[in-house]
Amino acid sequence: MAEGRDLWDERAASAEIAGATGGAAVAVALAYDPQAGDAPKVVASGRGFIAEQILHFAFAHGVKVRTDPDLAQVLAAVDVDTVIPVEAFMAVAEILAYVYRANGRLPPDTPAQRAEGGEA
Q: Give me the CATH number covering residue 58.
A: 3.40.1690.10
| Domain interval for residue 42 | 5-116
Confidence at residue 108, expressed as pLDDT on a 0 to 100 scale: 64
Number of folded domains that form the chain: 1
The larger pLDDT score, comparing residue 55 to residue 113, is at 55
Q: What are phi and psi of 9, to 5 degrees?
A: -105, 110
Which one-letter DSSP state was computed for residue 64?
-
Note whether 17 and 51 are within 8 A (CB). Answer: yes
Q: Tell me if the pTM is above 0.75.
A: no
The larger pLDDT score, comparing residue 119 to residue 70, is at 70
Confidence at residue 11, expressed as pLDDT on a 0 to 100 scale: 46
Tens of pLDDT, residues 6-62? 544 444 454 455 455 456 789 999 988 888 878 899 999 999 999 989 989 988 888
SS3 at position 28: strand
Tens of pLDDT, residues 61-110? 888 788 888 888 899 999 999 999 998 999 888 888 877 777 777 766 65
Q: What are phi and psi of 12, to 5 degrees?
A: -90, -15
